Amino acid sequence: MSHIAEAFFALHRGLPRQGAGSDTTTRHLLGQVGPLPTRPRILDAGCGPGRSALLLAEETGGHVTAVDLHQPFLAELDRAAAHRGLSDRITSLHLSMAELPFPDNTFDLIWAEGSVYNIGFDTALRRWRRLLAPGGTVVVTEIEWTGTPSAPARSFWDAAYRLREHAANVEAARAAGYRTTHHWPLPDSDWWDEYYNPLEARITEADLDRPGMREAVAATRAEIALRREHGTDYQYAGYVLRPENGKNRMNWNTRPETPADLRAIREVNLAAFPAAGEADLVEALRADQDAWIDGLSFVTEAEDGSIVGHALLTRCHIGGAPALALAPCAVLPSYQRKGAGSAAIRAALEAARALGENTVVVLGHAEYYPRFGFVPASRLGIRAPFEVPDEAMMALTLDPQRPALTGTIRYPAAFGV
């Protein structure tokens, strides 16, 4: 981290919040979400010290997975959660909100106050959509113009983050697949009471001899001065967003394999790969009692009931603890690029989650697997037992309440690695 970035964090350490907001606003936005399940699964993305994570856990009775890239904020959140008896309902994870290693349909509510600007409103909404369970909602706050801005406001924000007007944000949300069901400009006091006022007090005590601190203080002063002089030009606004129906995805039928499918599964694997290695691997794994788990070999059926795709999860170990390996995945060539493979993979991951499994690894194309939530395994502290490009060895956690396993992968013997 640069000296300036470190100085920024030093200036911000221990503040009640790390952006505009208030408990009143969090409660208001939560009230607009509508009915939630009894124990909703909530993601707080860019949680900072976790003011909203704590409140959401308390008010909903659910479980909050809170992610941030700044570890000291997560430590502050963990302490506050322990203090309020919420430790078992808040899991803090050191992860980027841009790449979340969770499967589809993981959360009933995704929350992000004062943080989406880090990866951009549009990127955040696109990447999070698959994470929403049916009936799920996204709530974010975003800075936006209130009208035509003055020149100083325009030049300040153009250098920091491209602001749009409300109508353009609604349109961007629509393009990302959401309907805006509520729009709520935060009151001006949300900028001051728990953010700029405490921050200004910090500035007066800042150690200006610390490397980077003069620059951090100057930038912070400029931002606060802009708010004082031109604050009516821009606002933070809460957006309550619901995914539009009609995901443009073929509705494939998937199911676990049955004994009658074995021949067809072999055919699919033979047709999908240039040699018989994968077809033989499936059979060797099926014969290996330590590797095979009933119910985690999934097929995709065409309309006539014939099998066109297959995905397999078997038992591997990471750092000696049980995990799952996804391999192989195969689709008949004439059915490729139509979602038949993804459907089998999603179904297998869903079944694994229902069995209480957590960490899954895959070796494969770095352009393909991230759509299911796989991230480079190295980022979760997982290593391949052989030389492999970092981005090709990927991992995913099925249950965000439990941390991923760490260590080196040990594959079943059938893989021959």
Contact residues toward ligand SAH (CB under 6 A) are 17-19, 21, 46-48, 51-52, 67-70, 73, 96-98, 113-115, 118-119
CB 26 within 8 A of CB 52: yes
CB atoms within 10 A of CB 320: 9
Residue 28 CB-density burial (10 A; 0-12 exposed, 13-18 middle, 19+ buried): middle
Which of the 8 DSSP states describes residue 298?
E
The crossing angle, in degrees rounded to 10, of helices 3-12 and 197-205 is: 120
Which of the 8 DSSP states describes residue 171?
H
Angle at 408 between CA 406 and CA 412, to 5 degrees: 115
CB nearer ligand SAH, residue 186 or residue 282: 186
CB nearer ligand SAH, residue 55 or residue 366: 55
**Shortest Å, Cβ 194 to ligand SAH:** 8
Distance CA 5, CA 217 (A): 11
Nearest residue to ligand SAH on Cβ basis: 48
CB nearer ligand SAH, residue 51 or residue 242: 51
Q: In what order do the strands lie in the sheet with 132-145?
A: 90-94, 63-68, 41-45, 107-112, 132-145, 234-243, 178-185
**Shortest Å, Cβ 283 to ligand SAH:** 43
CB nearer ligand SAH, residue 316 or residue 395: 395
**Shortest Å, Cβ 329 to ligand SAH:** 29
Distance CA 33, CA 216 (A): 37
Beta-carbon contacts of residue 396 (< 8 Å; ≥ 6 apart): 101, 102, 103, 349, 359, 360, 361, 362, 372, 373, 374, 375
In the numeric block, the tokens 């395994």 are attached to 377
CB nearer ligand SAH, residue 189 or residue 306: 189
Q: How many helices (H) and strands (E) in the chain?
A: 13, 16
CB nearer ligand SAH, residue 64 or residue 352: 64
Distance CA 37, CA 365 (A): 36
CB nearer ligand SAH, residue 72 or residue 407: 72
CB nearer ligand SAH, residue 97 or residue 380: 97
Beta-carbon contacts of residue 331 (< 8 Å; ≥ 6 apart): 268, 272, 300, 308, 309, 310, 340, 341
Angular region, 32: left φ>0, alpha ψ -120 to 50, beta rest: alpha
**Shortest Å, Cβ 124 to ligand SAH:** 9
CB nearer ligand SAH, residue 49 or residue 412: 49
| Main-chain phi, psi angles of 191, to 5 degrees | -80, -30
**Shortest Å, Cβ 117 to ligand SAH:** 8
Distance CA 182, CA 159 (A): 29
**Shortest Å, Cβ 52 to ligand SAH:** 6
**Shortest Å, Cβ 379 to ligand SAH:** 12
**Shortest Å, Cβ 161 to ligand SAH:** 12
**Shortest Å, Cβ 42 to ligand SAH:** 13
**Shortest Å, Cβ 195 to ligand SAH:** 8
CB nearer ligand SAH, residue 115 or residue 169: 115
CB 300 within 8 A of CB 331: yes
